[in-house]
């Protein structure tokens, strides 16, 4: 298969993988909602086997979408304020998902600015709460399909080289912090916390 053909399948192949590999493979793919879209530049993996994952406590009124089929959206409220978007991964009945932590704006940047009340491009989607606000994604889209919409997970933009990936510890959690399950596009200025330059070499 050509490299371009492989890219067009990347988001679909990722959904068939274990959640940590899926998180890595989804960097470079796209998320769109209506006219607004962006390239995924930062993800984190969560799995029911570790305590930082909401699914660790099992199936509840909050966590049931995590156990749905891969490609379903898990959208939940964080800190009483923000909506955070996850791509459910692994086979049905296994609780696992990829948190989308940052996007590089691709289309609809004017809409994003209006929704965010910010001008700088790097302030629009550089965080899990920011990107849902920029794309107009709320809790009402919890458990909807990312393959059928309204939110869509798509392949990398045509003609764009896939980014080199850097891995590290997940952000903003207190348990299982040692797992290197955060993945970023190397050198991207659109991630939530840019990598320290001294650690970027390798």
**CA–CA distance, 172 with 199 (Å, rounded to integer):** 19
Burial 148-187 (b: 16+ CB within 10 A, else e): eeebbbbbbeeeeeebeebebebbebeebeebebbbbbee
Cis amide linkage into residue 11, ω under 30° from 0:
no
Assess contact for 15 and 71: CB atoms under 8 A: yes
Q: Measured from the CB atom, is 99 or 166 closer to DNA?
A: 99
Judged by CB under 7 A, the number of residues near DNA is 36
Q: Does 115 bind DNA (CB under 7 A)?
A: no
Contacts to DNA from residues 128-147, by CB under 7 A: 128-130
Instruction: Choose which of 24, 44, 90, 104 interacts with DNA (CB under 7 A).
Output: 44
CA-based angle 35:36:41, to the nearest 5?
Answer: 150
Q: Does 57 bind DNA (CB under 7 A)?
A: yes
Q: Does 190 bind DNA (CB under 7 A)?
A: no
Instruction: Choose which of 121, 122, 123, 186 interacts with DNA (CB under 7 A).
Output: 123
Q: Does 113 bind DNA (CB under 7 A)?
A: no
Smallest distance, DNA to C-beta of residue 4, A: 31
Instruction: Choose which of 74, 90, 108, 190 interacts with DNA (CB under 7 A).
Output: 74
Q: Measured from the CB atom, is 39 or 66 closer to DNA?
A: 66
Q: Does 118 bind DNA (CB under 7 A)?
A: yes
**CA–CA distance, 138 with 129 (Å, rounded to integer):** 10
DSSP structure class, residue 141: G
Q: Does 67 bind DNA (CB under 7 A)?
A: no
Assess contact for 137 and 76: CB atoms under 8 A: no
Q: Catalog residues that contact DNA under the rule CB under 7 A.
A: 44, 46, 52-55, 57, 60-63, 66, 74, 77-82, 84, 86, 97, 99, 116, 118, 123, 127-130, 170-174, 192
């Amino acid at each position: 298969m050509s490299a371009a053909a492989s890219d067009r399948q990347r988001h679909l192949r990722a959904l068939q993988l274990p959640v940590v590999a899926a998180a890595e493979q989804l960097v470079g793919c796209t998320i769109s909602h209506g006219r607004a879209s962006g390239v995924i530049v930062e993800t984190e993996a969560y799995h029911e086997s570790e305590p930082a994952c909401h699914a660790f406590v099992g199936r509840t009124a909050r966590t049931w979408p995590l156990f749905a089929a891969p490609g379903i959206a898990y959208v939940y409220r964080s800190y009483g304020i923000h909506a955070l978007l996850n791509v459910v991964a692994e086979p049905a009945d296994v609780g696992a998902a990829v948190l989308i932590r940052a996007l590089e704006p691709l289309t609809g940047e004017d809409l994003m600015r209006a929704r965010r009340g910010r001008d700088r491009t790097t302030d629009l989607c550089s965080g899990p709460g920011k990107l849902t606000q920029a794309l107009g994604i709320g809790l009402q889209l919890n458990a909807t399909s990312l393959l059928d919409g309204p939110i869509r997970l798509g392949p990398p933009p045509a003609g764009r080289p896939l980014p080199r990936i850097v891995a590290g510890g997940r952000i903003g959690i207190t348990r299982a912090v040692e797992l290197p399950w955060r993945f970023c596009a190397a050198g991207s200025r659109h991630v939530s916390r840019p990598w320290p330059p001294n650690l970027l070499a390798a």
